[in-house]
Chains A and B, each alone.
Chain A
């Protein structure tokens, strides 16, 4: 094999009080590749991430991670208690054994949150919080990014930028990315490999192939005909990471919904 494997699941099964959460799930994560999990609520997407990260033990099957694998994780639900005074800078740096302002700043610049470093974590908006979480995941040069719905709370314009950012990080640093996402049309644009999950793996493959698969169409319907797939319109401006209006760049060609 030419590319080294970062992590894999083999025939993983999990039950919770007689209810099947996962059945016979296998997957492999490679460097410089985005693997996206999609599926309805309760399909077990977050659980798969937790099994892969070692946070949850499966009932059957095996979990393998490359020895010494460095992981950056963005959890699905993050809420910081109001009673804990913590600045964004300290929050991102918590990952390090010894605080390193320069490294923290560098990661914050990478996700466009360097202006928020002095702010208390509790004052962040949903979209800002996701970028801060991503910055923390990027600290300490991870080999694998595990992102559980990185787009939650991010507005539509910010969303496509966020996925572009993840894509760019993958290309620049060669990270392997395993993520859960609900933003179907963006997933289809940004992923190398899509895994459609409903307790078991319904279908998988390149985004174009998955979006035509009968199992996928049964779960999500046909985005092209259902009218879910968003009306397409052109913007005469776009918003940068801070929500400021910036001129539309030609290369990005913002045509989104």
Chain B
């Protein structure tokens, strides 16, 4: 197998590992829209990175972390917390990023690679960065798993029982921001939320505990990744969308299987 396929597979595996742990909470906390807002704003980071000629990853990370903190503020101020506001932030950043990219005089920018991902172009550095973040994420998730679960079940009950709501919410949001930075290369900013929610939603049917649902989401994510890459290489289709198509296919497929859980 060619080198680029190995790199793609390794980076993809790390991203799927992250999206499994994070995605289930996106479902449980009804935050799919937050995922969109965050990933859309990544394009603004790309534009800023290219314009200033500095490190792209850092800019994307910076913008995503800033938007995550902004959303956290919105979430804790119910007067502002509406889907409308999230939509405004995410789409404004996406549009602003796209417009800004056209102003770059000397650089040929492949916009499609940012919108839909270009996993076959990842470098060894990207692979190392992705795995580094994946390990960091798992270490943090191991610490916040229980309080985050309690929070997702009932925030006020958890708070009365001593969960530090703000800190736990903030760590979760920041983890999504970090994941967006590396997952952008795999499926692109437009389809990133799909990677978070589709395998998790598929896993729900078979899971009786929260942990099993997350593990199953990872397994299904890996399946979708491999299936998508095979489709992409065989039929010469864009890889990111192919992975999401594979994930959706699995979701539809399991709806026909008998249900085991209540």
- When A and B form their complex, what is the total count of cross-chain residue pairs whose Cβ atoms lie within 8 Å? 66
Residue of B nearest to A94 (CB): B150
Query: Is A75 in contact with B153, judged by CB distance below 8 angstroms?
Result: no
B50 CB contacts on chain A under 8 angstroms: none
Give the interface size bracket for A toward B: 20 to 34
- Tell me if A231 counts as interface (CB < 8 A to partner B): no
Let me know if B168 is at the binding interface, CB within 8 A: no
The yes or no answer to A55 lying at the interface (CB within 8 A) is yes
Asked whether, in the complex, the Cβ of B210 is within 8 Å of the Cβ of A97, the reply is no
| Interface check B139, CB cutoff 8 A | no
Q: Is the CB–CB distance between A85 and B160 below 8 Å?
A: no
**Residue in contact with A83 in the complex, picked from B28, B156, B159, B208, CB distance below 8 Å:** B28
Interface core residue of A84, A85, A136 (most chain B CB under 10 Å): A85
Tell whether A86 pairs with B150 under 8 Å between CB atoms, given A55-B156, A73-B160, A123-B262. no
CA gap between A86 and B262 in the complex, in Å = 10
Judge whether B157 is part of the interface by a CB distance below 8 angstroms: yes
Q: Across the interface, do A94 and B207 meet the contact criterion of CB distance under 8 Å?
A: no
B149 touches A83 (CB 8 A): no
Describe B's contact surface by its main secondary structure.
Answer: helix
Q: In the complex the two chains form, is A83's CB within 8 Å of B160's CB?
A: no
**Chain A residues with CB under 8 A of B161:** 71, 73, 95
How far, in angstroms, from A71 to B156 measured CA to CA in the complex?
Answer: 12
For A146, list chain B residues within 8 Å (CB).
160
| Bound Cα distance A120, B261 (Å) | 9
Closest to A98 in B: B146
Q: Which residues of chain B are within 8 angstroms of A87 by Cβ–Cβ distance?
A: 208-209
Known: A84-B27, A97-B146, A146-B160. 11 other contacts (CB 8 A): A55-B160, A73-B157, A75-B157, A78-B157, A81-B28, A84-B152, A85-B208, A86-B209, A86-B210, A94-B149, A95-B161
Please give the residue numbers on chain A whose beta carbons come within 8 Å of chain B beta carbons, in ascending order. Answer: 50, 53-55, 71, 73, 75, 78, 80-81, 83-87, 90-91, 94-95, 97, 119-120, 122-123, 136, 146
5 contacts between A and B (CB under 8 A): A71-B161, A80-B153, A81-B27, A83-B204, A146-B160
